[in-house]
Amino acid sequence: MAQKNTYSGFPSIVWPKLYNIQFEKVKDQLGDYDKPVFSAEVRALNGKYVSLPGYMVPFDNVTKGNHFMLSSMPLNACFFCGVGGPESVVEVFLKAPIAYTEKPILVSGFLKLNDKDPDKMIYLLADAEFEGLVEF
């Protein structure tokens, strides 16, 4: 099992729970991969409406969109920069597009757990809404 990361971002009751995950090495017809093993605490959040603070990570350098990654950490320390693990990001599907910002934001939506589709992140936020910027 991989080393467990610890959440240290904005005050949130959900992010620390999402970090409570382990991975197991499995093999399928496409090869080896790390399959998420969700804790009971995380499984209890599946399908629930949750709010998450974080930083936008847009796809393909777009300036506005409704599909992006939300990182629990700033971009220079996020999963895609090699610092955090996959538990530190959520793939967001907003109901309406918003302009990209480097400032932290708050989004709310229905959390979906993904341990089957390797083309998606392990956490998805569906029917999500932009709640605003996070002030600190």
Residue 9 located in a structural domain: no
Instruction: Flag whether the pTM goes above 0.85.
Output: yes
The parent domain of residue 52 ranges over 15-133
Residue labelled with tokens 């350098």? 61
Residue positions counted in the chain: 136
Q: Would you say residue 7 lies in a domain?
A: no
Query: What is the tally of structural domains in the chain?
Result: 1
CATH, residue 33: 2.40.50
Return the pLDDT at 31: 83
Does the residue 2 lie in any domain?
no
* 3 state SS for the chain: CCCCCCCCCCCCCCHHHHCCEEEEEEEECCEEEEEEEECHHHHCCCCCEEEEEEEEEECCCCCEEEEEEEECCCHHHCHHHCCCCHHHEEEEEEEEEEECCCCCEEEEEEEEECCCCCCCCCEEEEEEEEEEECCC
- Residue 36 domain flag: yes
Return d(Cα 55, Cα 22) in angstroms, integer: 23
Asked whether residue 55 is assigned to any structural domain, the reply reads yes
Q: What is the pLDDT of residue 7?
A: 59
Residue 44 lies in a domain: yes
According to DSSP, the β-strands at 123-133 and 89-99 are: parallel
Which band of pLDDT confidence, cut at 50, 70 and 90, is reported for residue 3? very low
pLDDT tens readout for residues 99-125 = 999 899 999 999 999 998 878 899 999
Assess if residue 30 is contained within a domain. yes
What the block records as the tokens of 131 is: 């709640």
